[in-house]
Structure 1
Amino acid sequence: MKIGELARQADVTTKAVRYYESLGLITPERLANGYRDYGEDDVRLVQEIRTLHQLGIPVERTRPFLECLAAGSLHADDCPASLASYRDSIDELTERIEALTARRATLISNLNAAAHRGSRVVPAADTGNGGEDYVTLPAVLPRPADDGAADHLPGLKAPSVTLYNTAGKAIELDALGPRRTVIYIYPLTGRPGTDLPEGWNTIPGARGCTPESCGFRDHFQDLLEAGAGRVYGLSSQDTEYQHEVVERLALPFDMLSDPALELADSLGLPTFEVDGTRLFKRLTLVIRDGEIEHAFYPIFPPNEHAQQVLTWLRTNPL
C-alpha cells in the first residue's frame, strides 16, 4: 500500500510516517520502480507508536515495544525491555509531577499573598486549603442588630420559586413536603485565593459563612434526628462556586443558588450592598408543608447557629 493509505488506516499524518521511517522504526519494502510499499505489519507498528506516544512515551523510545512485536510477541509490552521502558517513563513523569507540584504551591502562595494585599483579611498559616483560615472568626466581630426585618416571615406561604442545588436538581421551595426543611441563608463564603470585599469583617453579620456551614455539617445527623427532613445552605453565589465549597468543606448536604435573589424579592428578606453587589443578610428559615414555620434572625455568632437550630428543633418537636 502507498504511504497515504497507511496514514489513513493508522490515523496519523504522512509526515509522521516519514519521521518514523527516518528513525528506522518502520522499514517498508521497495518496489522495482523505487516506490515504498507498506504492509499490514507496518500499519500495526505505526498504530503502536501512536498509542505509546499518546501515553507520553517519546517516539524515539518506542523501539523496544516494536522489537517485541517483531520477535513474535502477541503484545508490544510482553518483553522485559518494554517493561523497563514503562518504568523509565513513569520515573520521568513522577519527577515532572513533583516539579509541577512545587511550582503550583509557589503560585498558590503568590496568589494568596496578592489577593490579600491591602485587605483586612489576613492569610493564616497553611491549613491545607491554600492558606486562608475562613473557619476561625476574628476575636472581635460586630453583632448585627435586630431591625425586625424578618418579623413578618413566620406563617407566610413558601414562595413558588425554583432554585438549583449543587447536585444539579431543581428544588421547588413551595413543594418541599410535610417534613421540616432548614434553609440557612448567608451572604457569601470566602475560599482560598479569592479576596473578600473590603471591610468585610466590619459589616455586622457578614463574616462567618464558612464557620456557619461547618456547624451545620458537624450537626447534620443531630438535626435529622431532631426532626429536620433536609438541610440546605443558600446564597446568591453561582452553583459552580458553591460546589467547590461543598467539596472543600465536605458538606453532607447541598447548597441552593439564587443569583437573582428571587427569594429575597418574593418574601421581602433583608439584604445589604457591598462593593455594588446586593447580598442576602444572614437568616434561617424552617419550612414545613409549604409554610414558613420559623425564622431565625439576626444570627450571632454564626459558628454557633447550627446548635441554636438544633435546640429549637428539640424544643419544638412535631
Structure 2
Amino acid sequence: MRIGELAERAGVTVKAVRYYETLGLIVPDRLPNGYRDYGDEHVRAVDEIRQLAGVGIAPSRATPFIECLDTGHVHSDECPGSLAAYRNGIAELDQAIAALTSRRTMLTQRLEESASRGFDGVPTTPAADYTSLPSGLPRPEDDGAADHLPGIRMPSLHLPTSDGAGVTLAELGPGRTVVYLYPLTGRPGVDLPDGWDAIPGARGCSTEACDFRDHFEDLRAAGVDAVYGLSSQTVDYQREVVERLQLPFAMISDPQHLLAEGLGLPTFEAGGMRLYSRLTLIVRDGTIEHVFYPIFPPNTHARQVLGWLSEHPS
C-alpha cells in the first residue's frame, strides 16, 4: 500500500509516518519503480507507536516495542527491553512529580507567609469574616457516598498532625474519637476558590472548628476521648488555624488523600484542588461506629454530635 493509505488506516498523518521512518521504526519495502510499499505489519507498528505516545512514551523511545513485534510477539511489551522502557518512563514521571510537588510546597509556603504579613502604608480592604456564615448557602444533599462507612475498620495510616505528634488512625483507642473532615479553612487575607459559597457544603470550616472548640469540654464529658479535624491542607497551614482559632485539639493533615482512598470517602474539586467533602466519623475501638453526612449547617455541628452522643451513651 502507499504511504497515504497507511497513514489513513493507522490514524496518523503522512508526516508522522515519515518521521517514524527517520527513527528506523518503519522500514518499507521498495517496488521496482522505487516507490515505498507498506504492508499490514507497518499499520500495526504505526498504531502501536501512536498508542505508546498516548501513555507518554515518545516515538524516539518506541524502538524496543517495535523490535518486540518484529520478533513475532503478539504484544509489543512482552520483551525485557519493553519492560525496561516502562520502568524508565515511570522513574522519569516520579522525578517530575517530586519536583513539581516540591515547587508547589514552596509556593504554598510563600503564599501563606505573604498573606500573613502586614503591608505598611498600603491600604487594604477588610478581610472576609470566615467565622460566620452568610445567608442563602445551598444545602448539600445526601448522595449516599457515606452509606458504606459504618462498621468499617479504620486503615493503618499514620498521618501528621498540627501538634507534631502524628496519629495512627487504626490505633485511636477503645474509647470514642470524633474525626471531622472538612474541605479547607479560610484564612484572613487569602481568597477562597471562586464560587466557593455556591458549592453545597463547602463554606463554614472555621465556624465548624469554633463550634467544636466551644463544646470540646462538653464532648469530653459525653465520653469522647479525642477530637480531630482532618483536611488535605498542609500541617503548617493547619497549625496556624489551631493557633489563630485557639483550638484545644489537633488537626490532621492528609494532602495525598490517603484516608479517602482507604475508605472510599467523597471528595470534590474546587480551585484546581481536590478537597474532602464535609463529614464526621465517630470511631470506637478502631471501627467506625457512626457517620454524619451530609452536614448542614456546619456552625452547629458539634451540638449535633453531642445530641447523638446523649442518645447513644457509651
Short-chain TM bin: 0.5 to 0.7
Equivalent residue, structure 2, for 1:245: 241
Q: Are 1:258 and 2:254 an aligned pair? A: yes
Q: SS state of the match for residue 284, structure 1?
A: strand
Equivalent residue, structure 2, for 1:277: 273
Identify the match of residue 157 of structure 1 among 153, 156, 168: 153
Can you list the C-alpha shifts for 1:178-212, whole angstroms capped at 9, x where unaligned?
Answer: 01000000000000111100000000000000000
C-alpha contact 1:285 1:292 (8 A) present in aligned 2: yes
Question: After superposition, where does 1:288-299 map in structure 2 within 5 Å?
Answer: 288-299=284-295
Shift of 1:277: 1.1
Can you list the C-alpha shifts for 1:49-107, whole angstroms capped at 9, x where unaligned?
Answer: xxxxxxxxxxxxxxxxxxxxxxxxxxxxxxxxxxxxxxxxxxxxxxxxxxxxxx94646
Shift of 1:108: 7.5
Equivalent residue, structure 2, for 1:10: none
Question: After superposition, where does 1:151-230 map in structure 2 within 5 Å?
Answer: 151-230=147-226
Shift of 1:162: 0.8
Q: SS state of the match for residue 160, structure 2?
A: strand
Equivalent residue, structure 2, for 1:61: none
Matches of 1:193 and 1:155 in 2, distance apart? 41
Matches of 1:298 and 1:260 in 2, distance apart? 22
Question: After superposition, where does 1:81-120 map in structure 2 within 5 Å?
Answer: 104=118, 106=120, 110=124, 113=125
C-alpha contact 1:184 1:285 (8 A) present in aligned 2: yes
Task: State TM-score, norm by structure 1.
Answer: 0.61
C-alpha contact 1:108 1:193 (8 A) present in aligned 2: no
Q: Tell me: CA distance 1:308–1:105, structure 2 relative to 1, closer, same or farther (3 Å).
A: same
The residue type equivalent to 1:193 in the other structure is: G
Q: Which has the larger radius of gyration?
A: 1
Matches of 1:282 and 1:235 in 2, distance apart? 9
Equivalent residue, structure 2, for 1:309: 305
CA RMSD between the two structures: 1.4
Matches of 1:155 and 1:178 in 2, distance apart? 15
Q: SS state of the match for residue 230, structure 1?
A: strand
Q: Tell me: CA distance 1:182–1:108, structure 2 relative to 1, closer, same or farther (3 Å).
A: farther
Equivalent residue, structure 2, for 1:17: none
Task: State TM-score, norm by structure 2.
Answer: 0.61
The residue type equivalent to 1:250 in the other structure is: Q
The residue type equivalent to 1:288 in the other structure is: R
Matches of 2:129 and 2:122 in 1, distance apart? 15
The residue type equivalent to 1:222 in the other structure is: D
Q: Tell me: CA distance 1:133–1:106, structure 2 relative to 1, closer, same or farther (3 Å).
A: farther
C-alpha contact 1:142 1:202 (8 A) present in aligned 2: yes
Matches of 2:257 and 2:299 in 1, distance apart? 24
Matches of 2:121 and 2:273 in 1, distance apart? 29
Can you list the C-alpha shifts for 1:7-45, whole angstroms capped at 9, x where unaligned?
Answer: xxxxxxxxxxxxxxxxxxxxxxxxxxxxxxxxxxxxxxx
Structure 1: gaps spanning 5 or more residues: 1-102, 114-122, 124-130
Structure 2: gaps spanning 5 or more residues: 1-116
Q: SS state of the match for residue 173, structure 2?
A: coil
Matches of 1:224 and 1:167 in 2, distance apart? 19
Matches of 2:198 and 2:161 in 1, distance apart? 30
Equivalent residue, structure 2, for 1:81: none
Matches of 1:104 and 1:172 in 2, distance apart? 38
Shift of 1:109: 5.0
C-alpha contact 1:158 1:290 (8 A) present in aligned 2: yes
The residue type equivalent to 1:178 in the other structure is: P
